[in-house]
Amino acid sequence: MSVAQNPLSIHVTVPREDAVLLTVEGDLDIDTATELQHHLANQLHHGRRHFLLDVSSVPFMDSSGMNIILRVYQEARDISGGVYVIRPTSAVRRILDLTGVSITVPTVDSVEEALALVDSRRPAEQPAEPGQEEPPVR
């Protein structure tokens, strides 16, 4: 009988209405990745668009974990959201770098830095050109 050496634990907090922080602890692998997928799907269902994944306590991640990150990235992108990996351990960073995921999915050092990136990537409302104002909505 096999007992998981590093079971997965996921703590979910909502720092603001459109963003969710998932603090992941333990190995993120084929045996545990579906648990993370369920949490992410639940948050998508509740209208979250920005996913902050704190993986500072994930000593190991295989392709299953990486695929979950890429899947939620695709889904978030479709709704003008994003995914941000926070404080990856050296082993997780190595996987993200070797596979090129770190090129697509931003890696940051803190929740505050992730939220600042969310804010900086929002499309700025551009003022109408003089004489080009939109008619009022009635």
Phi, psi (rounded to 5 degrees) for 136? -65, 150
**18, 47 contact by CB (below 8 A):** yes
pLDDT in tens, 84-126: 999 999 999 999 999 999 999 999 999 999 999 999 986 554 3
The C-alpha atoms of residue 32 and residue 136 are separated, in whole angstroms, by: 52
Q: Checking phi first, is residue 26 left (phi over 0); if not, alpha (psi -120 to 50) or beta? A: left
The C-alpha atoms of residue 34 and residue 14 are separated, in whole angstroms, by: 21
- CATH number of the structural domain 9-120: 3.30.750.24
pLDDT in tens, 6-25: 689 999 999 999 999 999 99
* Whether the model pTM is above 0.85: no
pLDDT in tens, 99-110: 999 999 999 999
Residue 44 burial by Cβ neighbours in a 10 Å radius (0-12, 13-18, 19+): middle
Query: Can you read off the two tokens belonging to residue 51?
Result: 């996913």
